[in-house]
A and B are shown apart, each in its own frame.
Chain A
Amino acid sequence: MTSNQSKKRRLLQGNEAIVEGALAAGCRFFAGYPITPASEISEILSVRMPQVGGTFIQMEDEIASMGAIIGASLAGVKSMTATSGPGFSLMQENLGFACAAEVPCVVVNVMRGGPSTGLPTAPSQGDVLQARWGTHGDHPIIVLAVSTVDDCFEITVRAFNLSEKYRVPVIILSDEMVAHTRESVILPSPDEFEVIDRVTPSMPPEWYIPYEDTSRGVSPMAAFGEGYRYHVTGLVHDVRGFPTQRPEEIEAFISRLFRKITKGFDEIQMTSSLMTEDAEVAVITFGSVARSARRAVIEARGQNIKAGLLQLITLFPFPRHPVEEVLRQCRAVLVPEMNMGQISREVKRVNTEGTHIKKYNRIDGQSMTPDEILVQLMKL
C-alpha cells in the first residue's frame, strides 16, 4: 500500500476498522467461530488473510478458536480471534492458559446484551468484569475499550503492541453500536503509527531460559521450530518452563506476572480527557457511551455547567491515577454505562475523597443518548 492510497477516506464499520488495525499491526493468523455481532471480522479476514500471506480458519467452537490462536502465536505469528458474550465465556479457560504461559494474542469481544444468549443484535457493556476476571485464578490481563470507528483501528494496533511487549493477552471490548456504525474515516499510513514485535532470544539455545526474569519482567520469546526446544505449560512453572510445586518458585512466577504489568502502568493505562482542567462535575465512562458523553459535556458547557469527560480507553489494569485526579477535583462524578454498574464499582473503589458518584445505567438493549446523559449531568 502506498501512502497515497492509504490516505483515502473510507466508509467503514467498527468491525472493518478492527480488521484494518489488526492487519496493520502485523496480525497474520485469525481463528474464529460465527457469532453476531462479531461475524464481519471473521468474514472479512477470511478474504484478506490469504491475500497478505496469513491464515484464516473457522474452528468448531470458540474454545478451539482460542486454542488455535495461542498455538499460532507460539509458532511466532501474531494472532487474533473475535467473538461476543457466549463465545467469550467459552474462551475463558484457554485465555487463562495464555496469561499463565505468557502467549501474546488479541481477543475482540463485541459485546451484546446478556446474560446467556441475551440480545444478539443489541449493544451492551455487560462483559467488563468478565473481561478482567473471567478466567480462574489470579492473573494479569489488559482490557481496552473502543468507542468510535477511528478508535477501532488505532486501539487494535495498540492492543497488539501491548500484547507483544508484555506477553499478555489483550481483550478489546467493543459493542454492537461501535461494531455496526459506519463512519467516514481516514486510516493512518504505516509511518504514522508504531508497530511493536515481541522480543525474541538473541542468545544461543543452550543459554536460553524461557521464563527468566528480566528488568521488565518479560522474557524473550522463542518461536517453536527456531531451535530453542523449550516446554510450555499451563501448570505453574519454573524459569525453564517445567512444572514446579516449590513455594518459592510459585510465588516468584505469580509475582512476576503481575509485576511486568505494574511496571508498564504509565504506558498501559490510557485515558482521554475533554475539558477536565476546570471541571466541577465530570463524566467517567468508556466505549460507545463515551461518544454520547462527549456531546453531552459540550452541551452542558453551553448551559454554563462546568462539565468534563474522562474517557477510559484502558479498563484494566484500572487507570486509577487519572480517575483519582478527577475525583479529587470534581464535586460530583457521573458514571453512565450500558450495564448494572460494572465500571462505577471500580470508580467507587478508588474514591478516597468522598466525592459524590452517581451511576446511571441502561440495560434495555438501547444505546445511551447524549440527551439523557445531559439530563443526568444537570441533576448532579
Chain B
Amino acid sequence: MPKEVTTLIHKYLRHDKKFPHVWCPGCGNGIVLGAMIRAIDRLGLKKDDIVLASGIGCSGRMPVYVDFNTLHTTHGRALTFATGIKLAEPSLMVITIMGDGDATAIGGNHFIHAARRNLDINAIIINNQIYGMTGGQHSPTTPYGCYSATSSYGHIEHAFSISELAVTAGADFVARCTVYHAELLEKLIEKALQRSGFSIVEVMSNCHIQFGRRNRMGDPITMMKWLRDNAVTLEKASKMTPGSLKGKFTIGILADVEKPVYTKEYEKIREKTQKSEKVK
C-alpha cells in the first residue's frame, strides 16, 4: 500500500473503531469515499469543520467510517438535516452523501428544493441504479428493460437522469462522473467543495451484486467496463448524434453558474432588520 494511502487512512478514517465496513467486495462506494477524502485533504479542510450527512442505504453507512462530524439520518432526508445544520452554523462545510433511491425517490422532493433554494451544501450522489442494501429492487434510475428483484419481467418504467434533473431544478454546480474515472471524480469533488451554492456530483457506480448479477454483469470488472464504455465526455457528446448517444451518459461539468447563496442572502436580511430594530 502506498505511503500516501496509509497516511490518509490514519488521518481521516475511524480505522480502529468501525472496520471492517459493510460494503461488498468490489463495491464502488470505497472509490467514492477515497476520492472525497483525497479532495478534502488537497483542500486542507479541517476535520472539525466538516459535517458528512447521509440517508439510508449502502451509501448511508459512509459517515460512520470517517472522522468528521457525522450524521446518519432517515431515508431520503439527509438534505433536510443538512439544511438545518448549514443555517444554524454557516461556517461548517456540509457534505451529504446519498444513493439514487435515497436522493431521487423518497428524497426527490428535498433534492429538487435544495437545488432550487441554493444553500451552500455539497451533495454527492452514488448512482448504482438499484436499491442495493434492501436486496436489489428497482430504483428511479434503473434503466428500461433491466431486471431487478421487483421487475422480474423487465423494467417497464423510465429512468431519471439525476444530473439533468438537478440542472433543471437550478443547482449551481452539477457534475457527473463514474467510479471508473477515479481521478476525474476526485477533481470534480474538489471543485464542487470549493463552490459556494448547492453543488452536486453524481457518481455512476457499480452494484454488481444486486444490479449486475441480474443483468449479465455479475462481477465488478464487467461493470467497470460497462461504465467505461458508456460514459461519454461532454466534448465528445457534442459531436455525436442523439441516436448514437442512446443508452450512454455524459460525464463532466453539466452546470457551473453562480446565483446568490441562501446563507449569504439571509445574513443580509439579518443585518438589515437588526439595523432597523436599533433605529426604533
A232 touches B72 (CB 8 A): yes
Answer whether residue A229 sits at the interface, using C-beta atoms and an 8 A cutoff: yes
Binary CB contact string for chain A from 2 to 29 against chain B (1 if under 8 A, 0 otherwise): 0000000000000000000000000011
B80 touches A225 (CB 8 A): no
Answer whether residue B51 sits at the interface, using C-beta atoms and an 8 A cutoff: yes
Which partner residue on chain B sits nearest A55 by CB separation? Answer: B87
Answer whether residue B230 sits at the interface, using C-beta atoms and an 8 A cutoff: no
Q: Smallest CB–CB gap between B53 and chain A, Å?
A: 8
A230 touches B69 (CB 8 A): yes
Answer whether residue A265 sits at the interface, using C-beta atoms and an 8 A cutoff: no
Which residues of the partner chain A approach B236 to less than 8 Å between Cβ atoms?
none
Which residues of the partner chain A approach B69 to less than 8 Å between Cβ atoms?
224-225, 228-230
Answer whether residue B258 sits at the interface, using C-beta atoms and an 8 A cutoff: no
CA distance A93 to B73 in the complex (A): 11
B266 touches A67 (CB 8 A): no
B70 touches A232 (CB 8 A): yes
Q: Smallest CB–CB gap between A279 and chain B, Å?
A: 47
B83 touches A57 (CB 8 A): yes
For chain A, residues 210 to 238, give those with C-beta under 8 angstroms from any C-beta of chain B.
Answer: 223-235
B89 touches A76 (CB 8 A): yes
Q: Which of B17, B71, B269 contacts A240 (CB 8 A)?
A: B17
Answer whether residue B274 sits at the interface, using C-beta atoms and an 8 A cutoff: yes
B88 touches A76 (CB 8 A): yes
Q: Smallest CB–CB gap between B82 and chain A, Å?
A: 6
Interface stretch (choices B36-44, B60-68, B237-245): B60-68
Q: Which of A64, A224, A235, A240 contacts B51 (CB 8 A)?
A: A224
CA distance A225 to B86 in the complex (A): 11
Q: Smallest CB–CB gap between B224 and chain A, Å?
A: 30
Q: Smallest CB–CB gap between B266 and chain A, Å?
A: 7
A235 in contact with B84 given A60-B109, A240-B17, A242-B18 (CB within 8 Å): no
B71 touches A75 (CB 8 A): no
A231 in contact with B63 given A71-B80, A225-B48 (CB within 8 Å): yes
Binary CB contact string for chain B from 11 to 51 against chain A (1 if under 8 A, 0 otherwise): 00000011000000000000000000000000000011101
Q: Which of B49, B67, B80 contacts A64 (CB 8 A)?
A: B80
Interface class of chain A by DSSP: mixed
Q: Which of B63, B82, B84, B274 contacts A69 (CB 8 A)?
A: B84
Q: Which of A29, A50, A60, A225 contacts B84 (CB 8 A)?
A: A29
A229 touches B68 (CB 8 A): yes
Q: Which of B67, B81, B270, B272 contacts A74 (CB 8 A)?
A: B81
Answer whether residue B91 sits at the interface, using C-beta atoms and an 8 A cutoff: yes
Q: Smallest CB–CB gap between A209 and chain B, Å?
A: 12
Q: Smallest CB–CB gap between A85 and chain B, Å?
A: 20
Q: Which of B47, B64, B67, B83 contacts A71 (CB 8 A)?
A: B83
Answer whether residue B194 sits at the interface, using C-beta atoms and an 8 A cutoff: no
Q: Which of B67, B87, B270 contacts A68 (CB 8 A)?
A: B87
Q: Smallest CB–CB gap between B51 and chain A, Å?
A: 5
A29 touches B88 (CB 8 A): yes
Interface centre among A69, A226, A229 (most CB of B within 10 A): A229
For chain A, residues 87 to 102, give those with C-beta under 8 angstroms from any C-beta of chain B.
Answer: 93-94, 97
A232 touches B88 (CB 8 A): no
Answer whether residue B151 sits at the interface, using C-beta atoms and an 8 A cutoff: no
CA distance A227 to B273 in the complex (A): 32
Answer whether residue B113 sits at the interface, using C-beta atoms and an 8 A cutoff: yes
Which residues of the partner chain A approach B110 to less than 8 Å between Cβ atoms?
60, 63-64, 67
B88 touches A50 (CB 8 A): no
Binary CB contact string for chain B from 72 to 99 against chain A (1 if under 8 A, 0 otherwise): 1110010111111111110110000000
Q: Which of A72, A93, A225 contacts B74 (CB 8 A)?
A: A93
A64 in contact with B113 given A57-B83, A71-B83, A93-B74 (CB within 8 Å): yes
A63 touches B80 (CB 8 A): yes
Answer whether residue A70 sits at the interface, using C-beta atoms and an 8 A cutoff: yes
A234 touches B72 (CB 8 A): yes
Interface centre among B47, B73, B81, B91 (most CB of A within 10 A): B81
CA distance A53 to B272 in the complex (A): 11
Which residues of the partner chain B approach A225 to less than 8 Å between Cβ atoms?
48-49, 51, 69, 89, 91-92
Which residues of the partner chain A approach B18 to less than 8 Å between Cβ atoms?
242
A67 touches B81 (CB 8 A): yes
Contacts from B to A (Cβ < 8 Å):
17-18, 47-49, 51, 53, 63-64, 67-74, 77, 79-89, 91-92, 109-110, 113, 266, 269-270, 272-274, 277
Known contacts A70-B73, A71-B53, A74-B81; can you find 8 more A-B pairs with CB under 8 A?
A29-B84, A51-B277, A59-B113, A60-B113, A67-B110, A71-B83, A225-B92, A231-B63
Contacts from A to B (Cβ < 8 Å):
28-29, 31, 47, 50-51, 53, 55, 57, 59-61, 63-77, 79, 93-94, 97, 223-235, 240, 242-243
**CB pairs A–B below 8 angstroms (20 shown):** A29-B84, A31-B83, A50-B274, A64-B80, A67-B79, A68-B80, A68-B84, A69-B84, A71-B84, A71-B86, A75-B84, A75-B92, A224-B71, A224-B89, A225-B92, A229-B69, A232-B71, A234-B73, A240-B17, A242-B64
Closest 4 CB pairs of A and B: A71-B84, A67-B80, A68-B84, A75-B88
